[in-house]
Amino acid sequence: MKIEILGTGCPKCQQLSSNVERAVEELKIQAEIVEVTDLNEIMNYGIMMTPGLAIDGQVKSAGKVLTGEEIKKLLTEEL
């Protein structure tokens, strides 16, 4: 599973990244977590507000910091 954090590295992006790492750890799943900071790449995903979250290339969230519980729900749907 590949999880991408879409954002420029702002505090909200950093918080989302931290929440994702914690959720992956709590679920004990194997996942590659990548931070995408290039604006052109982010725009290729079709989102206009960061932070964004993509799982296996599919955008799951944009413009908000998901909680650990919200992230775990998304991740378990993908398993």
Q: Catalytic amino acids?
A: 10, 13
**Which among 54, 74, 68 has a CA at the least distance from the CA of 22?**
68
Do the Cβ atoms of 6 and 47 come closer than 8 Å? yes
Whole-number Cα distances in Å, 59 to 28, 69, 76: 22, 17, 15
SS3 state of residue 62: strand
